[in-house]
Amino acid sequence: MTTVKRGVEAMLERVEPLLARLAVGGTVVEVGVYQGLMGEHILKTRPDVTWWGVDPWRAQEDQPGSYVASKDPHARLTQSQQDMNCQRARDRVARFGVRASIYRLPSVDVAPLLPDASLDMVFLDGDHSYDGVIADLVAWWPKIKLGGWLGGHDWSNPNPAFRLGVDQAVTEWAERDGHDVQLDQGMTWWTPRA
């Protein structure tokens, strides 16, 4: 029987491969912040890094239909729950000042605001529906610098609540565009920009 890890233990398992790949002095965008635990850990562990968190923190009725249909528990929260999650994330990263920024917008609305080839890493852990992952891949790939990484979470997640569209979307995108996908601990996947 597979044990599903939760909270800090699960976050630490997926953040280790991220930190190992993140360039010195790099900028990382985390798409799907939830309560900011991972962002706080990145900023605390790597004082050379700038972190941008992107999450719309929207209620179920304001989420994309494909995301709600995926039955991801995060897509089914109330606005009150989402507001509380957003405030927890803001509180966690506030002490890092200008090294931490939060964008309360859909991921695909933030990506066009940033110059192409400007980011060292983007970590996708937001809308896990097939449509959501494809939209994020297309929106964020051009933003990665040469030598940078696009990655994400929930590759082959043993928890049925999170076994959504990640594997299929990333595999199809990589095969179509000729990208190398590397798997690592914590159910993470990574594509280098070579």
Q: For strands 188-192 and 144-152, give the pairing.
A: antiparallel
Q: Give all strands (DSSP E) within 25-184, no chain letters.
A: 27-31, 50-54, 100-103, 119-124, 144-152, 182-184
Reported as type and span, the H/E element at residue 12 is helix 7-21
At 4 the pLDDT is 44
In a domain, 165, yes or no: yes
Q: For strands 144-152 and 119-124, give the pairing.
A: parallel
Single pTM value for the model? 0.95
Q: What is the average pLDDT score of the chain?
A: 94
Percent of the chain predicted with pLDDT > 70 = 97
In a domain, 178, yes or no: yes
Residues spanned by the domain of 95: 7-192
In a domain, 60, yes or no: yes
Whether 128 and 139 have beta carbons less than 8 Å apart is answered as no
In a domain, 1, yes or no: no
CA distance 128 to 164: 6
In this structure, what CATH number is given to the domain that contains residue 23? 3.40.50.150
In a domain, 40, yes or no: yes
In a domain, 2, yes or no: no
Is the pLDDT score of 5 beyond 60?
no
Which DSSP category does 4 fall into? P
Q: How many independent structural domains does the chain possess?
A: 1
